[in-house]
Amino acid sequence: MTTTLVLGGTGKSGRRIAARLGHIARLGSRRGAPPFDWDDPATWPAALDGVSAVYISYYPDVSFPGAAEQVGAVARTAVTHGAQRLVLLSGRGEPDAEPAEDAVRAAGVDWTILRCSWFMQNFSEHFLLQPVLDGVIALPAADVAEPFLDVDDLADVAAAALTRPGHAGRTYELTGPRLITFADAAAELSRATGREIRYQRLTSEQYATAAADAGLPAEEIEPLTELFTRVLDGHNAHLTEDVARVLDRPARDFADYARDAAATGVWAR
């Protein structure tokens, strides 16, 4: 049987993919055994030993400076350790993520790129959880629509790309089935939680100040603020059929995500 290293294996997409792969998955993170640390190349050979495939979820963000170099170095190390298949989690409509994609394509083995829209789970498992609990989602996003993606759909697509034939050399653009604005998302979350949650549009400067006040590390504030401004300007406001094409079923809707996440109690006061 083949072993698949799932980087970000304790994160939003990685833990779902590891669950789908079962015993063939090896968790790749600082909490893995052996541990994998992006910032400590000495940890890479043991984590990659004997793997035939790698799911690459870079942290903190595949479009940040330095990501392509680290992703490329891990991809090349994976190949020297015998990996024959690489699947990269990338960002949709993000030119700054393309060098990392190219680094994976250049590694010399089968590759699949998953360009993903914003995750729905950012509202329940990531940096938008506290704003939802507080009732105000404040971001520097224009009033544009985004086709939010359910991470469970990403995990199903990634598991297919890692284990089944027919996905090598493909660059998929993964979106949800519906375009919604952050104000629409707040309305869906209000319905699902039974509490009022509203969206407040900030300027980039206001967001950077709020992020600093909230304790976000200084080196992450500028690229993150820039990312919001660049990605959420409307150029991604169109849907694709790639989830349905790969999975032979429709992508999950935001309302279904919100209902199921609310039922877990994650937004309970």
Interacting residues with ligand NAP (CB under 6 A): 8-14, 29-31, 36-39, 57-59, 61-62, 89, 91, 116, 118-119, 122, 126
Distance CA 142, CA 145 (A): 9
Alpha helices by DSSP H, 33-128? 44-48, 67-80, 98-105, 122-125
Nearer to ligand NAP, 110 or 125 (CB): 125
Cα 176 versus chain centre, distance: 13
Compute the least distance from the CB of residue 20 to ligand NAP, in Å.
15
Q: What angle do CA 181, 60, 213 make, to 5 degrees?
A: 70
Q: Which two tokens stand for residue 132?
A: 């939802």
Compute the least distance from the CB of residue 125 to ligand NAP, in Å.
7
Nearer to ligand NAP, 91 or 147 (CB): 91
Nearer to ligand NAP, 31 or 166 (CB): 31
Counting Cα atoms < 13 Å in the Cβ hemisphere of 206 gives 8
| Shortest-Cβ-distance residue relative to ligand NAP | 11
Compute the least distance from the CB of residue 191 to ligand NAP, in Å.
22
Nearer to ligand NAP, 59 or 195 (CB): 59
Compute the least distance from the CB of residue 52 to ligand NAP, in Å.
21
C-alpha closest to that of 27 among 45, 50, 3: 3
